[in-house]
Amino acid sequence: MTYTPDAIRAITLSTLRLPLSVPISDAKVFTGRQKPMTEVVFLIAEIETEQGFSGHGFSYSKRGGGPAQYAHAKEVAGAAIGEDPNDIQKLYSKLLWAGASVGRSGVATQALAAIDIALYDLKAKRAGLPLSKLLGSHRDSVRTYNTSGGFLNASLDEVKARATQSLEEGIGGIKVKVGLPDSSEDLRRVRAVREHIGDAPLMVDANQQWDRATALRMGRRFEELELVWIEEPLDAYDAEGHADLARALDTPIATGEMLASVAEHERLIEARACDIIQPDAPRVGGITQFLRLMTFADQAGLDLAPHFAMEIHLHLAACYPREPWVEHFDWLDPLFEERLETRDGRMIVPNRPGLGITFTDQARAWTTEKVTITA
């Protein structure tokens, strides 16, 4: 049996605004750097081919940048029309050069991520395989931890109740946000959660809001709580500071979610700035770039815990040679017909073709702009 070349017939781009049920606050709100988050803006790419195959992917932005992603994608997507959808790396390069004047990170590549992810979804569906199996997985389930229940806008009682619920639902670990102006309150909350959940895996996340001295002091205070990791203790681009902290503390350091290119992560890796790297496929440019980054991280002996977008990252984490973590968020539930299963502390990789997700009617109703690009 020989392969008959296919061609991309149309790319439909849309943007939607997902409202959050309550305004969300992390340490960046308490330091005055950001306002509470009330919505997440998504860029959706849906690709159709001449032979009738289709795939969809998404990128996203929190607080700012969503309209810019949509505008850039509209400008460059036409470069993929008529091309073979199976040539994903070639297409990524072509789209990158179509918008080269605005660079190779940030909005420029986040706009491409939705298209790149859609191409992988399409290719896996064509093969009749879950994306993880197309890429070559190491496991059929991944350790998982909950983040959406541990934000600073929630009272301690609410955090503990959500932690109980998460563990009862088969989620393995609990992450709690820290970085309040009053460090003693951080310690009180985290100690209370540790006592509440016993020896279940526990992580904390400062969202870049400590300076070097505070991070070291807090890291030492947290040592007794046997945390799985301390996340983003310093500014995301302070590779040297993270490296010093990683050497000074027994608790592993995790960071990387805010970086917007493979090159930025390479600097982190070369500096030995973390024990656990946390890339985000939509932020670094899609699956093509994420796979490059996984190779670098594995070569450096790092653990992996991708940020957000579990519907994408579950498949990618399943392909990492070392045992990874995947972050459980329930915010995106209204967007998809399917639910990811959690059991015994792990998230089960779905056996549906591609990413295994279908957008809901509600997602369509939240769409604010849409365009279809053809020849």
> For the chain, what are the domain ranges?
8-128+361-374, 132-348
pLDDT attached to residue 3: 83
C-alpha 151/C-alpha 75 separation (Å) is 37
* Whether 116 contacts 286, CB under 8 Å: yes
CA dist 25 to 10, 35, 67, 205, 364, Å? 39, 8, 22, 12, 27
Binding site, annotated residues for substrate: 26-28, 62-63, 175, 207, 327
CA dist 113 to 222, 289, 298, Å? 37, 9, 22
Q: H/E element holding 369?
A: strand 367-374
CATH among 3.40.50.970, 3.30.70.260, 3.30.390.10, 3.30.70.520 for 8-128+361-374: 3.30.390.10
pLDDT attached to residue 170: 98
**What homologous superfamily is domain 132-348 in, according to CATH?**
Enolase-like C-terminal domain (3.20.20.120)
Residue with tokens 């606050």: 25
Give strand pairing partners of 43: 15, 59
pLDDT attached to residue 177: 98
* DSSP assignment of 3-18: PPP--EEEEEEEEEEE
pLDDT attached to residue 239: 97
CA dist 46 to 280, 294, 365, Å? 20, 26, 16
Catalytic residue among 123, 133, 307, 315: 307
Question: Mean pLDDT in each 10-residue stretch from start to end of the chain (375 residues)?
Answer: 91 97 93 94 98 97 92 97 97 94 89 98 98 98 96 96 97 98 96 98 98 98 97 97 98 97 95 97 97 97 97 98 96 95 98 97 96 95
Give strand pairing partners of 57: 45
Q: H/E element holding 230?
A: strand 229-231
SS (H, E, C) 270-291: HCCCCCEECCCHHHHCCHHHHH
Binding site, annotated residues: 26-28, 62-63, 175, 205, 207, 231, 257, 327
pTM: 0.96
* 307 given a catalytic annotation: yes
Binding site, annotated residues for Mg(2+): 205, 231, 257
SS (H, E, C) 156-208: HHHHHHHHHHHHHCCCCEEEEECCCCCHHHHHHHHHHHHHHHCCCCEEEECCC
pLDDT attached to residue 370: 97
Backbone angles phi, psi at 278, to 5 degrees: -125, 60
CA nearest to 30, candidates 293, 208, 280, 277: 208
Catalytic residue among 160, 177, 196, 265: 177
pLDDT attached to residue 104: 86
